Amino acid sequence: MSEARSKVAEVLDKANKIVFGQDWMLESIIAALVCEGHLLIEGMPGLGKTLSVSTMSRLCDLAFRRIQFTPDLLPSDLIGTMIYNQEKEEFTTKFGPIFTQILLADEINRSPAKVQAALLEAMEEHQVTIGNTSHPLKEPFVVLATQNPIDQEGTYPLPEAQMDRFMMKININYPDFESEKNILGLDKNVVDGVEAILVPEKIKKIKEYVEGIYVDEKIKDFIVNSVQATRPESNNFPGKFKGVVVAGASPRACIWLFKLGKFMAFMDGKDFVSPEHLFKIIPSVLGHRIILTYEASIDNIKGGEVAMEIAQTLV
């Protein structure tokens, strides 16, 4: 296991020399690849979101495609369509860019709901239906989506059903002074020279190590209680959040806390999951699954902060 962890550390170290000041984003991307979950990255333009994804795809030797989401994008532009061949007098399938291993959905909230919905089948079932035929996607298949803050002009909020399919949602901020200074000397073609450190077979092996990490029954209870306590109808729901939360997190949150808790233990060099590993990911796993009231949003209350405060009361 130590060899596997050192390989992951090597990937992150190499990525940190290309993408400065975004350590949590890079660690979240590698978590998505190992756990085969989808990641939503929110931040202002120009913070290295696209560079991070392309760098990690090179370091992990995975097929990578990027889609720029725009208001006029059609579902067929994403998944593909049927084209009639006049010579053969038959329809042939033109596959879209979704047929890859890492799909970068850039500025996903700049396209309307019908395009965002085209991703749902792929994200959940790892297949795409074109015409009457379902086509399996390559493994691993991970959607790494970026979005601008929803108060920016020309953005569409993601439907709750799609938000729930993202393993995590992370928010990234501007880099510090030293990191931003280092960006000045960065070669624009730096990604072209990146060589793979991990290959899909090694990522699969790391996944097996992570899945073998021990989770105590008390930790499982804490995971389920933390998720259930975000629901207003729950007996453990704190009274102070009445009028703040409309709906709590779904059972998918339990699954991802369980899987990501193991990954955080793996990164920490432990063979068991502790509450500290879960506290590191609770805001990112639960925050986007908690639906807040309009008044709470106006008051700038964040779902991740609510989830963290609720979980801390259960320890």
Q: What is the CATH number of the domain that holds 243?
A: 1.10.8.80
pLDDT at 151 over 60: no
Same domain, 114 and 43: yes
Same domain, 289 and 273: yes
The number of CA neighbours under 13 Å toward the Cβ of 291 is: 13
> Residue 118 belongs to a domain with what CATH number?
3.40.50.300
Q: Which residues pair with 105 in a beta bridge?
A: 67, 145
Determine how many CB atoms are found less than 10 A away from the CB of residue 8. 22
Same domain, 146 and 170: yes
Last residue of one domain, picked from the residues 205, 220, 242: 205
- Do you find a cis peptide bond into 232, omega within 30 degrees of 0? no
Same domain, 98 and 167: yes
Distances (CA, A) of 234 to 153, 228, 310, 314: 37, 6, 12, 13
Q: Which residues pair with 91 in a beta bridge?
A: 84
Q: How many residues does the chain have?
A: 315
Same domain, 102 and 128: yes
pLDDT, tens digit, 9 for 90 and up, residues 249-298: 899 999 999 999 999 999 998 989 999 999 999 999 998 998 888 888 88
Same domain, 184 and 223: no
pLDDT at 84 over 80: no
Q: What is the average pLDDT score of the chain?
A: 85
Same domain, 198 and 65: yes
The domain tally of the chain equals: 2
Same domain, 193 and 222: no
**Domain encompassing residue 43:** 2-205
Same domain, 231 and 294: yes
pLDDT at 61 over 80: yes
pLDDT at 315 over 80: no
Same domain, 166 and 216: no
Same domain, 117 and 161: yes
For residues 32 and 26, give the distance between their C-alpha atoms in angstroms, rounded to a whole number.
10
Which residue from 49, 60, 52, 57 is spatially nearest to 10, judged by alpha carbons? 60
For residues 196 and 186, give the distance between their C-alpha atoms in angstroms, rounded to a whole number.
20
pLDDT, tens digit, 9 for 90 and up, residues 126-143: 888 887 778 888 888 899
230: DSSP letter: T
Same domain, 78 and 143: yes
